[in-house]
Amino acid sequence: MSKVKIGVIGVGSMGKNHVRSYAALKHLCDLKGVFDLDGERNIGIAESYGVEAYNSVDDLMSEVDAVNIATPTTTHFKLAMKAIDKGLHILIEKPITNSVEEAQAILNAAKKKDLIVQVGHIERFNPAIQALPDILKDEEIVALHVERMGPYDPRIDDTDVIQDLMIHDIDVVSSLVPGDITNVSATARKVDSEKHMDYAVANLSLGNGAIATLTASRATKKKVRALSITTTNSYIELDYLQRKIVVTGRQDIMADSSEYKRNNEYEETYSNDEEPLKSQLAHFINCINNGTRPLINGSDGLEALKLTKVIQHQVYNKDKQINIARSN
């Protein structure tokens, strides 16, 4: 079987990491080249990895089997539809597009041509997240609490913290507790941005009765990536950055854990040698070769976007607030 020929469109802060990872996966794919509107950056990245810097998207697409789209979200739809029209498989960075209607159009077009659409919700490739389903298989989830916080990044000035950060956790929570969301309550505020919310909290009522609270911030000086899950039998804490899970309350849930702690507390660190981004891209390639459904396909990306838009609508279109004064 010949290697999948791949091109990367957009080699900015995220795209250049995709190029690096594809170059490291040369046993699985043939990285043909890159395209970026910034000509100097386009040439620089191409020369760094010994691939071609294409002068246009069309030139690149004519030479590959699949494209990796890592451009600003507002460009995703046009690029994805062009790729589908040319019969190419797509890995598209999150969010899938800027609107639900555009995302649905991509899915419809790809389905007609039996093409793979994978969406770059990278947290699902974190080895700690991948370990959670086994830990939760006999558990009834009562509540989930997620914190995704860090400092303000002035480079990200075209969207808010909900679409930039919270969407990761929307996708993770949806994968852990599938089914309808019966109620959404959200609030947010601007801190450093003029137009966009920098701190947001969303409370979700899930179809099975569980409650999820998602906090996303780009106004917090410390970087935090944490998920905690309360079940009827245990309390589970996950640190995305350290790839660590601590379970308290059930002696059997992690019986083979390498470390025992007080109060029936078990800890496991998942030290996968391959970074989540490489795992994500290798998965994309294998799905193309095997004709299998991606872990996060276009439909998953669409569902995450739908809930993101619901939360954004609540935050930006709230009815006039009622102030309740405290008595002296």
- Give the end of a domain, one of 255, 272, 289: 272
**Could you tell me if 98 and 163 are in contact, meaning their C-beta atoms sit under 8 angstroms apart?**
no
Same domain, 60 and 163: no
The tokens for 205 are 């009522």
Same domain, 255 and 156: yes
Distant-in-sequence, close-in-space partners of 192: CB < 8 Å, separation ≥ 6: 152, 154, 198, 218, 219
Q: Using CA atoms, how far apart are residues 92 and 75, in angstroms rounded to an integer?
A: 11
Same domain, 13 and 139: no
- List alpha helices for the chain, DSSP H: 15-24, 39-49, 57-61, 76-85, 100-112, 127-136, 161, 167-176, 276-290, 298-316
What was the pLDDT predicted at 166? 98
What radius of gyration, in Å, describes the C-alpha atoms of the chain?
21
Nearest Cα to 188, choosing from 89, 313, 26, 64? 313
What was the pLDDT predicted at 80? 98
Distant-in-sequence, close-in-space partners of 11: CB < 8 Å, separation ≥ 6: 18, 19, 34, 36, 41, 42, 45, 70
**pTM, 2 dp:** 0.90
- Give the end of a domain, one of 272, 293, 320: 272
Same domain, 97 and 172: no
Nearest Cα to 66, choosing from 22, 122, 4? 4
> Do the domain assignments include residue 28?
yes
CATH of the domain at 69: 3.40.50.720
> Do the domain assignments include residue 277?
no
> Do the domain assignments include residue 285?
no
- CA 230, distance to chain mean position in Å, is 23
CATH of the domain at 220: 3.30.360.10
Same domain, 92 and 195: no
Q: How many CB atoms lie within 10 A of CB 1?
A: 4
> Do the domain assignments include residue 199?
yes
**Could you tell me if 4 and 65 are in contact, meaning their C-beta atoms sit under 8 angstroms apart?**
yes
Same domain, 129 and 150: yes
**Could you tell me if 80 and 61 are in contact, meaning their C-beta atoms sit under 8 angstroms apart?**
no
**In the beta sheet, which residues pair with residue 274?**
none
Same domain, 267 and 138: yes
> Do the domain assignments include residue 185?
yes
Number of domains in the chain: 2
- Give the end of a domain, one of 228, 251, 272: 272
Structural domain of 142: 124-272
Same domain, 88 and 224: no
Same domain, 100 and 221: no
Same domain, 105 and 167: no
Same domain, 109 and 132: no
Same domain, 101 and 151: no
> Do the domain assignments include residue 262?
yes
Tell me how far CA of residue 243 lies from CA of 78, 126, 151, 225, 237, in angstroms.
36, 7, 21, 10, 11
> Do the domain assignments include residue 286?
no
pLDDT tens-place values along the chain, 328 residues long: 689 999 999 999 899 999 999 999 999 999 999 999 999 999 999 999 999 999 999 999 999 999 999 999 999 999 999 999 999 999 999 999 999 999 999 999 999 999 999 999 999 999 999 999 999 998 999 999 999 999 988 777 788 999 999 999 999 999 999 888 999 999 999 999 889 999 999 999 998 899 999 999 999 999 999 999 999 999 999 999 999 999 998 655 555 554 444 457 778 888 767 799 999 999 999 999 999 999 999 999 999 999 999 999 999 987 434 343 444 4
| Dihedral pair phi/psi, residue 18, rounded to 5° | -65, -45
Q: Starting at the edge strand that comes first in sequence, how are the strands of the sheet with 29-35 ordered?
A: 52-53, 29-35, 4-9, 66-69, 89-93, 117-120
> Do the domain assignments include residue 217?
yes
What was the pLDDT predicted at 265? 76
